Amino acid sequence: EAGVAQSPRYKIIEKRQSVAFWCNPISGHATLYWYQQILGQGPKLLIQFQNNGVVDDSQLPKDRFSAERLKGVDSTLKIQPAKLEDSAVYLCASSLGGTGSQPQHFGDGTRLSIL
C-alpha cells in the first residue's frame, strides 16, 4: 500500500512571497489532515477534510493560509503572504474515517524555510 505522498520536500522562500504544498493521501482514505510542526514541537492541526468538505479549520490562520480538496482526493495548502514564523514542516495525514477509532498515517512533510 502506497503511503501519503507530499511535494515538494523542501522549499525556501522570502517573507511576503507565496508558496503551495501538495498532498496525495492513501487510496480510499476519506479524511485528510494538514498539520504544522515547528521545530521542537509536536504537530498542530491546521485543517481537516472529510472527502471534499472542511470538518475543522479552527486553527488555520485564514488571513494567509488556504487549503482545498476539490475532488475529495488530492489537497493543496497555500500560504500567501508568508511570514518568518511560518518556517516549519507541513505534514499531511490521512485516515479511513474521522472518528477516533481510525488512526492517521502521515507523509514525510514539506520543510519550509522563510528568509
Contact between residue 90 and residue 109 where contact means Cβ atoms under 8 Å apart: yes
> By CB under 8 A, which span of 21-29, 63-71, 73-81, 106-114 interacts with another protein?
106-114
Could you say which residues in the range 1-30 bind another protein, by CB under 8 A?
Answer: 4
Of 24, 36, 48, 75, the one binding another protein (CB under 8 A) is 48
By CB atoms closer than 10 A (0-12, 13-18, 19+), residue 18 is: exposed
Length of the chain (residues):
115
Phi, psi angles (nearest 5°) of residue 85: -75, -5
Distance CA 89, CA 3 (A): 18
Of 1, 2, 28, 41, the one binding another protein (CB under 8 A) is 41
Kindly state whether residue 54 participates in binding another protein, applying the rule CB under 8 A: no
Kindly state whether residue 94 participates in binding another protein, applying the rule CB under 8 A: no
Kindly state whether residue 57 participates in binding another protein, applying the rule CB under 8 A: no
